Structure 1
Amino acid sequence: MSNERPWLDHYPAGIPAEIDLNAYASVAAVLEESFQRFRDRPAFANFGKQLSYGQTDTLSRQFAGYLTGVLKLGKGDRIAIMMPNVLQYPIALSGALRAGLVVVNTNPMYTARELKHQLLDSGAKAIVVLDNFAATLQQVVADTQVQHIITTGIGDLLGFPKGALVNFVLKHVKKMVPAYNLPQAVRFRDALAQGAAHPLPKVELGHDDIAFLQYTGGTTGVAKGAMLSHGNMVANMLQAGAWIGQNAKYGEEIIITALPLYHIFSLTANGLVFMRLGGLNWLVTNPRDMPGFVKELKASRFTALTGVNTLFNGLLNTPGFAEVDFSRLHLTLGGGMAVQRAVAERWKKVTGCPLVEAYGLTETSPAACINPLDLKDYNGSIGLPIPSTDVAIWSEDNRPLPVGEVGELMVKGPQVMQGYWNRPDETAKVLGADGWLHTGDIARMDEAGYFYIVDRKKDMILVSGFNVYPNEVEDAVMQHPGVAEVAAVGVPDEHSGEVVKLFVVRKDPNLTEEALKQFCRDNLTGYKRPKFIEFRDALPKSNVGKILRRELRGEKKAAASAH
């Protein structure tokens, strides 16, 4: 057995140690292949409307024609896409990539300040924005390099009369479209009509060309654009594709895409991997509406689903979820944050399908480790490094550590980003000349090559010199039947430096602080037990539903300095 890569001995049957990076020159080449190969298969579904691969091909050609023929944008120009999961997203995405543009995925929930930073930093010349968020753009667009604005309504591609009805209800009944004034804007459908007169441009794309500027690193203050090349994205599609390909059938998969496609996990794992497989991406525009989400699941006959722990937990706690037909479901992939044992075990019990945890970062396009899909039971691990990927545990002074030792998780492989856009100093902090990426996660590896995240470096709580990992505390507290959600953070303490504070959303309204503290006394060693417990109606979450410990920590700091 190889000591270098012990995980290879534990790969499921049929998964190669390496992928052939040269199978495709670019993401655009992958899309072209699928448009031809699966022409008549459904590619995207949303609000009851489906687009085939052939239709997606035609519409994205028209969009590419508009970008190059009408707007005169060229290879390497940046275009921002600011939309939730609607049919316009894959069309704009595919069109932009086929035109050789760099896609700047933009979170529609951004504040004006965040949006301005991203547009300025990326130097985007064009933006496609959903009407619901155009008022935010209006506030900042004059201060950016954006010259071209394309607007669209949620119902614009749903056909008549449904589309018109959806747009009317959102604007006038639900009041979800704030008034905006962008006189220079062109409607998405008009852009497609104009683009139809222009041929698909001939653009030479290779592995080194940038496909995405994917913004990340809110934890360290200002967001940075990870440069993800066509080579990075092709590599990760092939790596993840090889991992799930053993039990995925070409042209027959239906994947529920509830996480936003502007987020790297959903973009690669759902959008790109399943387009290459000829699958149907069932787009859920607002997964926060859990009863509506369960209705979608009942209508879809889905075979695969990706999500984050909070999404799975939310579904399990939604009436009607247990009655969904899970007979075709063979892949549930969890990422973005730690999957909790209590959630994974309940998921397996209710759906019959294991909840398989994966690990990745924006900087790794994103997948680095995935658990075997035939996993019998939750194992608390992020899995094995995927094909063509090296993972190691390093000490503070950058030396590789032996099996079982705890240190920083390091990743090397063809999916590792080119660096941060215009930030050589920030790039140098995380990416060595040798190609090893510092993840900032604390982890260990066992003899079989399985990796276990102990915690985020930044989230670690230091109690009297002991390291306390919030994940471990949260995992323990989630075992209490009266707890719906929990976050553990460190708060300053004059005796021990820091102590643990819990923020808890109750499942049982009668749960008391004392009862929960007793539970923690029974399940956690002294220094790991919470000194403070605060009950909340909700916890702050990111756009993909990751609980934001840093916001809870920030509140504590603000409160402390106010006294």
Structure 2
Amino acid sequence: MPPHRVPKLPRARPSEMLCMGAAGVGVLTPLYLVMPGAEERLARQTTKWAPRWERNISFFAPPVERTVRRLEPPVARAVQRVESRLPLESMAKRVDASIRSGLGRVMPPKPTSPEHASPKPIMPLDSEYPPIAVPQTNVLGYLFDGKSDSDEPLWIDSQRPEHSISIRQGLQWTKRIGLGLERLGLQRGDVVLICSPNHILMPVAFLGIAGAGFVFTGVNPAYTADEIAHQLSDSTAKIVLAHPSVVDTVVEAATRVGVATDCIFQFSDKATQEHAGVRDWMTIVASCEQANGWRWPDLEPHVMAAINYSSGTTGLPKGVCISHSNIIVCVEQHKALMADVVARARDERWVCFLPLFHAYGQVISVFFAVSLSIPVYVMPKFDPGHFIDVIERRRITTLHLVPPVLVFLYKRLEAHGRDLSSLRVIYCGAAPLSRQIQKAAETRLNVQVRQAWGLTEATAGCTIVPPGFHDSAGSVGKLLPSCQAKIVDDNGREVEVGQPGELFVRGLNICLGYWKNEQATRELIDDQGWLRTGDIATHDERGWFNIVDRKKELIKVNAFQVAPAELEAVLLENEHVADAAVVGFNLDEGVERPRAYVVIQDHSRHKLTPQDVRSWVASRVSKHKLLEGGVVFVDDIPKLPSGKIKRKVMRDIAARDALELRRPTSIKSKL
């Protein structure tokens, strides 16, 4: 064999050479592409030397293959350890240092806290994670194409586990519902409203409605007739599916807004008898044989799938328009930063008590569950005892919670002494959670708590604590892939690192706007696509976010602003306090002061006075945060099903109490 000359390449950094050597197996190609100047150098040399390299391949291939086989395992392990923890440029520097020191592999320290994250970001803040590739399809195509043949239970009745729906059955139910609604004469874009507690047919009803080209909207079954009437009227729903337990209330609401009784159907996972002229919904559902020949329409990704109504904590709820693409993007974003859960999906078991008329419950227990084939035990609503039973008996692995439920888990006696060792991680969102509560819960439950943050207008989420980090600062994590953020002051100027301001977000998960409310949509999303969240937040030099509170809920004490969530967190640190809500209390002289409504633990009802609580808080906060508005013991705190405090209700109660200002602060109130 004639000798072959090796082409002389320009001097490269070790990390570049490693990347070129490993490119054949695709190990570190992305790392090479971000090296300054490396891509251009490689392009020039490739053009010049390509013909000679082709002739030399037969000579170089065997030793290269042997080298790659030797390097692949340690490099792959190293990449796996760091790919979601360190920015690529930082990783490259470690590669160089490692190779020069003769170690021959990447050895980054295992990060244990956000201190190991990226350098100081510049606003707008971009997610440090690679953009997601968005499948250009609709929800049913995304969830079911190629994976509809499993008979393993997917949605399981938590009270009757023998009743369940598999993916195969779920697709069949979805098609039966979609075809049935088509035969009723509904047109594309018509709205179908569901008023029901959770049950195992709720997910397939959502999918059948949206998949057939109609629009799902859900209403809280605890609503009054007036509240249901508002959503019926605002959504212009053509068909209503109402659980038997709320049929009378729904009929009353429908009568007020002119919706005929023959457009209302009883919606349950059990057979029902006609009541008040309302038939069983099974009378409109297609048969299995009919559904087998039906294929859902090929909907464009931008088509609206749902109208999820905002919480209405400060006023009437507004309809948030969510597209098929929004849903798909949201699932893909969370998959990217829940990699450990995705990796062990076959061993995961979840429980759903979050309402399925709410975005949080839908994303986790419908779309995410189908996407990963994770079984979900469906509870009608949150019941403390049953919740603990399900975790213990069904060996639940991952919880998706709201702060009040997390507080219950580590504070209430019902959870003590129970075997919750199957839990691997707890995700908590929908409302602020202090670092003190997070730490206490982690200690008591011996499981990591990862916070996340989002809003209905962003489909569900925008930030999350990624795997590999143990955050003890109460952070809501980092931006999801394909997401941007900025924090500005009241004048619209970007704030410095660590300073509070209103959080704006932008990305593929941002909603289409508010339903039939152009003015509110313009106030929500500006011309550049930035969504005003209404949340006050801070960010640090590493791109980690903390939520302070809702902007409208801040209490103005003289020249200072006090976050109710901060004082509520302080109150919940007290072992005698079961729950708490803080609101601004307007005194006669027009000065607003913090006032706390507190639920005392059952075993502490005679051990604590309101003054004890005030003194306890006073020893832990600044002067302007003192509970000068008083402390009131109450039986419970009114909350939405999502776990958020009904702030408007609390303000009304405070206004009522202001009329009785002269009474002692130990007034006993019942909400």
TM-score normalized by structure 2? 0.75
Residue 232 of structure 1 pairs with residue 326 of structure 2? yes
Amino acid aligned to 1:533: V
- In the TM superposition, residue 150 of structure 1 has moved relative to its aligned partner by 2.2
Q: What does 1:93-104 align with in structure 2 at a 5 Å threshold?
A: 93-104=206-217
Aligned partners of 1:195 and 1:319: how far apart in 2? 48
Q: How far is the alpha carbon of 1:34 from its aligned partner? A: 6.8
1:222 and 2:308 are equivalent in the alignment: no
Query: Are 1:118 and 2:231 matched, yes or no?
Result: yes
Tell me which of 348, 357, 373 is aligned to 2:442: 348
| Alpha-carbon distance in 1 for matches of 2:300, 2:610 | 58
| Structure 1 residues 541 and 247: alpha-carbon distance in aligned structure 2, compared to 1, 3 A threshold | closer
Match of 2:665 in 1: none
- For residues 313-332 of structure 1, the C-alpha deviation after alignment (integer angstroms, 9 at most, x for no partner) is 22334445344444442231
Distance in 1 (alpha carbons) for counterparts of 2:514 and 2:145: 30
* C-alpha distance in 2 between matches for 1:279 and 1:56: 13
8 Å Cα contact 1:34/1:276 also seen in 2: no
Aligned partners of 2:433, 2:594: CA distance in 1, in Å? 21
CA distance in 1: counterparts of 2:541 and 2:124, whole angstroms: 7
Q: Please point out which of 130, 134, 149 is paired with 1:17.
A: 130
Alignment partner, residue 30 of structure 1? 142
Change (3 A) 1:331 1:24: farther
Match of 1:186 in 2: 279
The structure number with the bigger radius of gyration is 2
What 5-or-longer segments of structure 2 have no aligned partner?
1-118, 662-671
Whether 2:188 is the aligned partner of 1:75: answer yes
Equivalence for 1:170: none
Q: What is the match of residue 536 of structure 2? A: 442
Comparing 364-373 and 317-326, the one that deviates more: 317-326
8 Å CA contact 2:564, 2:581 repeated in 1:
yes
Letter in 2 for 1:189: M
Corresponding position of 1:197 = 290
Aligned residue number for residue 512 of structure 1: 609
Cα offset, 1:194, TM superposition: 4.7
Which has the larger displacement, 385-394 or 269-278? 269-278
Q: Is contact 1:409–1:440 with CA below 8 Å preserved after alignment?
A: yes
Q: Give the secondary-structure state (helix, strand or coil) at the position aligned to 2:337.
A: helix
Map of 1:363-402 to 2, 5 A cutoff? 363-402=457-496
1:137-536 equivalences under 5 Å are 137-142=250-255, 143-145=257-259, 148-153=263-268, 155-156=270-271, 181-183=275-277, 185-192=278-285, 194=287, 196-198=289-291, 199-216=293-310, 218-248=312-342, 249-287=344-382, 289-494=383-588, 497-507=591-601, 508-509=604-605, 510-531=607-628, 532-536=630-634
Does residue 65 of structure 1 match 2:179?
Answer: yes
CA distance 1:303–1:141, change in 2 (3 Å): same
Q: How does 1:127-146 map to 2 (within 5 A)?
A: 127-142=240-255, 143-145=257-259
SS at match of 2:597: strand
Q: Which structure 1 residue ranges, 5 or more long, are not aligned?
A: 157-166, 168-178
Partner of 2:103: none
Give the Cα–Cα distance (whole angstroms) in 2 for the partners of residues 144 and 414 of structure 1.
Answer: 37
CA distance in 1, matches of 2:616, 2:411: 22
CA distances 1:471-497 after superposition (whole Å, capped 9, x unpaired): 221122222221111111111135571
Q: Does 1:554 align with 2:652?
A: yes
TM-score, with length taken from structure 1: 0.89
CA separation of 1:202 and 1:86: change in aligned 2, threshold 3 A: closer
Which has the higher mean CA deviation after the structures are superposed, 138-147 or 461-470? 138-147
Residues 34 and 395 (structure 1 numbering): CA distance in 2 closer, same or farther, change over 3 Å?
farther
CA distance in 1, matches of 2:321, 2:437: 34
Asked whether the equivalents of residues 355 and 378 of structure 1 are also in contact (C-alpha less than 8 Å), the reply is no
Number of residue pairs the alignment of both structures matches: 532
The structure whose residues are more often strand, as a share, is: 1
CA contact (8 A) 1:474 1:488 kept: yes
CA distance in 2, matches of 1:319, 1:513: 23
- Look up the SS of the partner of 1:65 in the other structure: helix
Rounded Cα–Cα distance in structure 1 between residues aligned with 2:270 and 2:392:
22
Query: 2 CA distance for matches of 1:559 and 1:180?
Result: 46
The 8 Å contact of residues 31 and 94 in structure 1, kept in 2 or not, is answered as: no
CA RMSD of aligned residues (A): 2.4
Q: What is the identity percentage for the equivalent residue pairs of Structure 1 and Structure 2?
A: 27
Instruction: Note the alpha carbon deviations across 1:343-374, whole angstroms, 9 max, x for none.
Output: 32232123322111110100000101111234
